[in-house]
Amino acid sequence: MLALAVIYVVLTLLPCISTPPGRDQGTYLTVGNSLLHGKVLYRDIWDNKPPAIFYVSAAVGAVFGRVFWSPAAMDILLAALGCLLLYRLVRPLLGVFGASVALILYAAWHSRFMYYWIAQPEMYQGVCALGICLLLRWQGIHWRLRYVLAGLLMAFAFLLKYTFAVAVPFLLLMALLDMEQLGARPPRLALRASWRECLLRCGVVLGACAAAVLLAIAGLAVQGAWPAFYESQFVVLPRYAAEAVKYEPHYLRLALIRLGGVLPPFVLGPLAAAAILAYFRRNLPRFMPLLLAAFAVLSTAVVQVRFHDYYFTGCYPFLAAAGGYTAVALLELLQQGADALRRRGLRVAVVLLWVAVLNFCFLPLPDEYVRELLRYHQLSLWCKSPAVSYASYPGAISVEFLDGQIEVLDYLRQNARPEDKVFLWGSNSLVYFISGHEPPTRFPLNLGLISRWSPPEWLPEAAQQVERAAPTYFIVTRGDQLRTITYSDLDSEQFLQSFPALRDYLAQEYVPVRHMKNFEIYRRRDAGTPQERVPQIP
């Protein structure tokens, strides 16, 4: 069973390499690449997310290079690490069979991720939560070292997204509760050690976590980024979150609808079924650690103001573990039923029972085979021509213009010199990362400039930075309205017309050289008129 699970995990993760990056991944890589070039986060290059994802993305860009598939490669590594940690966590609780089922479920769910889900902060948080659970329950090394390492992982997960703070109490409970007492009738809550010992252990974890967070913020302050960090994280970010509530008069109803959409019964079903089976079979000591870990990561997604689908990717390893427990419990019940039938001499009934079980297990296999066949077909297209594969990727979000970005990149590759500066007025900042041109302003995408929640002084700041940089190429995006983020119906091109400083500068200093469906490329008038080479996608 374990060999089958490992083979399935490898085969289902391999096609993920053909997954293109989304707008978020492009922003992470662009900001991370700027950090490698000496820029300071928030002061010289800005985004409203906490800092950890940008430093991780800097490492990803440094290791894999400026290629489209770097987020996909990182996502595969994260999934593989998640599978390893998941097996180490659930193997003592569920045995080899249950752990193998959990691996298969997790890999199957992961392969269904949309392209813009990959390598998101929530994915990293899920792997961190697995590592924290292992460290808090592992008995191999001294508990102080384990708890310090767990605290450092908590700090990293917190700096990925601040909502991880709500997961900490659940994870600490998993380490402090005496799980054996939950198997009594009725179940009893008891600590594994005295109150003094439990407080000491909590202090070690939380102290290590707080020290790491403060050290990270102090590092930004030493670099001179404290004012920009404070403005971004304590002024702009709360305004961005509050805008969703102000914009939607029936926010609570919308939140419940969104939760029902991203957490349908087939996702929460394994968790509910496992909890019910564990209670009636008196297996709560074996299942409760998984339940607490699942609620810990689930809580980080539920408390967010918005409810994007990928917010829940960190929960999938623990939902898969619940599915593994359900499989183990059902198998034990079936074996007991088969033994009862065998003792009564009903051997034919035993055979029919297992035939029915095998038929039930076979039901999802044809659909899985067809889905994997289509994914490998996409992989074969990617191997032949990544550009064509990305440009025609099924299910791509319309406002991300994967085909248009490839056309822009091909144009820059054929016409722009390495020393030329490029300014993109839009949100497809992946163009900066792949082309190797640094953003001339601290805003790699204009969502923070054209939104209702952005500070009014940012627009003049960006215009001044563009004029000082005098980029050779000025790229304007059209048709990229993102009302759920900017709370405006204007696209980048339309907003530019209402921004006199940048609009007039563009009209006076630039001439259009390339018209595309969703992009307009301008070149400085004093940059000369080199022979224009029109890109052709192979």
Residue 218: C-alpha distances to residues 211, 215, 228, 229, 479 (Å) = 10, 5, 13, 11, 41
Question: Would you give per-residue pLDDT tens digits along the chain (538 residues)?
Answer: 899 999 999 999 999 999 999 999 999 999 999 999 999 999 999 999 999 999 999 999 999 999 999 999 999 999 999 999 999 999 988 889 999 999 999 999 899 888 999 999 999 999 999 999 999 887 777 888 999 999 999 999 999 999 999 999 988 888 888 777 776 777 777 777 788 888 998 999 999 999 999 999 999 999 999 999 999 999 999 888 888 777 666 667 767 776 776 666 666 777 777 888 887 877 777 788 888 888 888 888 888 877 788 888 888 899 898 888 888 888 888 888 888 888 888 888 888 988 988 888 888 889 889 999 999 999 999 999 998 899 888 888 888 899 999 999 999 999 999 899 999 999 999 999 999 999 999 999 999 899 989 999 999 999 999 999 999 999 999 999 888 888 888 999 999 998 999 999 999 999 999 999 999 999 999 876 555 554 444 3
Identify the CA nearest to 354 among candidates 368, 367, 342.
342
DSSP string, 440-480: SSS-SSTHHHHSTTS-TTHHHHHHHHHHHH--SEEEEE-S-
Query: How many other CB atoms are found less than 10 A from the CB of residue 472?
Result: 21
Residues 310, 120 contacting (CB under 8 angstroms): yes
| pTM higher than the cut 0.85 | yes
Q: How far apart are CA 352 and CA 357, in angstroms?
A: 9
**Within the chain, what is the greatest distance between any pair of CA atoms?**
95
Q: How far apart are CA 486 and CA 477, in angstroms?
A: 15
Q: Dihedral sign, CA of 435, 457, 484, 514?
A: negative
Identify the CA nearest to 428 among candidates 399, 450, 449, 453.
399
Q: How far apart are CA 64 and CA 57, in angstroms?
A: 10
Q: In this structure, which CATH number among 3.30.70, 3.10.450, 3.40.50, 1.10.3470 belongs to the domain 398-527?
A: 3.40.50
Q: What angle do CA 203, 209, 213 make, to 5 degrees?
A: 140
Residue type, 30: T
Residue type, 365: L
Q: How far apart are CA 393 and CA 531, in angstroms?
A: 32
Residues 78, 119 contacting (CB under 8 angstroms): yes
